[in-house]
Amino acid sequence: MEEKTMKQMQQVVDKYISQFKEGYFHPLSMLARMTEEVGELAREVNHRFGEKPKKAEEEEKSMEMELGDMLFILICFANSLHIDLEDAFDRVMHKYNTRDADRWTRVEE
pLDDT (tens digit per residue) in 70-95: 999 999 999 999 999 999 999 999 99
Number of domains in the chain: 1
91 within a domain of the structure (yes/no) = no
CATH number at residue 50: 1.10.287.1080
CA distance 37 to 43: 10
- Which candidate, 78, 68, 66, places its Cα nearest to that of 10? 78
* pLDDT tens per residue, range 26-42: 999 999 999 999 999 99
14 within a domain of the structure (yes/no) = yes
Question: Domain span at residue 67?
Answer: 6-84
Mean pLDDT of 18-30: 96
44 within a domain of the structure (yes/no) = yes
108 within a domain of the structure (yes/no) = no
Apex CA 22: angle with CA 19 and CA 25, to 5°? 115
Alpha carbons within 13 angstroms on the beta-carbon side of residue 69 total: 17
Which amino acid appears at position 105 of this protein?
T
96 within a domain of the structure (yes/no) = no
